[in-house]
């Protein structure tokens, strides 16, 4: 890989951002801009300056390899942008929106498992995701040391995988059953417009929500109406594409207007439970977007459907194809850790 600067942390505002400069030329230019050399195994504080001498930020640098330096800068967009623009001025290859896993040149580790942990850090969008990811080397070493490894359970578990992949959860149902209100309640904020009349949601709306560390996208879809106009029919077609691509589909019914679920393979929830005692049976959940009744149970049902029922700490988990294939081939913890 050519001399480069790679943003290792997820894009967006945060307390800090970490940028890796790789290549002898990149390291030399960076040290010149900091006014002091970076040391292996020791953090060095410095002022990163533009060619004009103007300070860009106070940074902390550490040389992680002979030809690689990582710096921590303040995580505001302006600082990150100016630092990466400086790298572009130097002619470096800049990666400002890294895809996961990070390329081999962006991580340094002694084992395949440790490399995978580091390579997937930018995808950890919640503190719980990051903690669970970083604890995997210790969790797998303990499984190797004790010989206690429930292979089938590990293969069935998808909690860490889901925390790193932003699953999509579609809410479907007739118009005015309260899908938007329920989506807002699940997200803990207002992402969809709510009104006591059908047809308010004309296009699908994506709302970010976090469930036990899983950063998911709730897809609030428009309800079908027989008198829909041409624009609504196009919007419904687009919404159907979103539903087909969803990891979980939640069908929302209205307790105040009893009806029969019309989809298979979905989580069925009867909304507006505060207005009526009606339920359709068959394992359907009851919830109220207004009062919050039953919402925790709905979240748990979504997590179980996603394969995230076991959320105990310090459990060995798989999130890459290599790890899964190593276990399926009977290699055990040794194969997951060391390949």
Do 175 and 277 lie in a common domain? yes
Residue 107 lies in a domain: no
Question: Got the DSSP string for 127-194?
Answer: HHHHHHHHTHHHHHHHHHHH----HHHHHH--HHHHHTT--EEEEE-STTSSHHHHHHHHHTS--S--
Residue range of the domain that includes 64 = 4-98
Do 176 and 300 lie in a common domain? yes
pLDDT band at 194 (very low <50, low <70, confident <90, very high): very low
Question: pLDDT (tens digit, 9 = 90+) per residue, 79-114?
Answer: 999 999 999 999 999 999 888 999 877 888 899 999
Do 290 and 316 lie in a common domain? no
Average pLDDT of the chain?
90
Q: How far apart are CA 64 and CA 209, in angstroms?
A: 35
Share of the chain above pLDDT 90, in %: 73
* Global model pTM greater than 0.85: no
Question: pLDDT (tens digit, 9 = 90+) per residue, 260-293?
Answer: 776 778 999 999 999 988 877 778 999 999 999 9
Domain count, the chain: 3
Question: pLDDT (tens digit, 9 = 90+) per residue, 33-68?
Answer: 999 999 998 999 999 999 999 999 999 999 999 999
pLDDT band at 228 (very low <50, low <70, confident <90, very high): low
Residue 158 lies in a domain: yes
Residue 105 lies in a domain: no
> Which pLDDT score, from 0 to 100, does residue 225 have?
56
pLDDT band at 200 (very low <50, low <70, confident <90, very high): very low
CATH number of the domain that residue 211 is part of? 3.40.50.300
Do 267 and 248 lie in a common domain? yes
CA 123, 125, 130, 136 torsion: positive or negative? negative
> Which pLDDT score, from 0 to 100, does residue 193 have?
45
Do 245 and 274 lie in a common domain? yes
Do 229 and 243 lie in a common domain? yes
Do 58 and 157 lie in a common domain? no
């Amino acid at each position: 890989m050519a001399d480069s600067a790679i943003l290792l942390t997820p894009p967006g505002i945060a307390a800090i951002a970490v940028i890796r400069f790789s290549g002898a030329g990149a390291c030399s230019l960076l040290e010149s801009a900091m006014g002091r050399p970076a040391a292996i195994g020791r953090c060095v504080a410095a002022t990163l300056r533009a060619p004009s001498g103007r300070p860009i930020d106070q940074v902390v640098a550490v040389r992680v390899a002979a030809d690689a330096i990582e710096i921590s800068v303040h995580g505001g967009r302006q600082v990150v942008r100016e630092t990466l623009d400086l790298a572009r001025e130097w002619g470096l290859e800049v990666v400002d929106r890294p895809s996961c896993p990070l390329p081999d040149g962006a991580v340094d580790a002694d084992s395949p498992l440790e490399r995978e942990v580091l390579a997937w850090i930018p995808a950890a969008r919640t503190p719980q995701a990051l903690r669970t990811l970083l604890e995997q080397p210790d969790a797998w070493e303990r499984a190797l040391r004790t010989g206690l490894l429930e292979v089938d359970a590990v293969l069935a578990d998808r909690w860490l995988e889901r925390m790193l992949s932003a699953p999509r959860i579609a809410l479907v149902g007739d118009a005015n059953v309260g899908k938007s209100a329920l989506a807002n309640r699940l997200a803990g904020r207002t992402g969809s417009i709510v009104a006591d009349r059908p047809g308010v949601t004309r296009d699908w709306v994506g709302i970010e929500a976090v469930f036990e560390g899983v950063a998911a996208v709730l897809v609030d879809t428009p309800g079908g109406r027989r008198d829909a106009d041409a624009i609504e029919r196009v919007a419904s077609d687009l919404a159907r594409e979103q539903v087909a691509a969803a990891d979980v589909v939640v069908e929302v019914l209205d307790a105040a207007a009893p009806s029969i679920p019309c989809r298979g393979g979905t989580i069925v929830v009867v909304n507006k439970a505060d207005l009526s005692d009606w339920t359709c049976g068959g394992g359907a959940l009851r919830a109220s977007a207004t009062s919050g009744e039953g919402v925790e149970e709905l979240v748990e049902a979504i997590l179980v459907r996603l394969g995230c029922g076991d959320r105990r700490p310090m459990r060995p988990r798989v999130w890459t194809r290599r790890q899964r294939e190593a276990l399926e081939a009977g290699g055990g913890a040794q194969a997951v850790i060391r390949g």
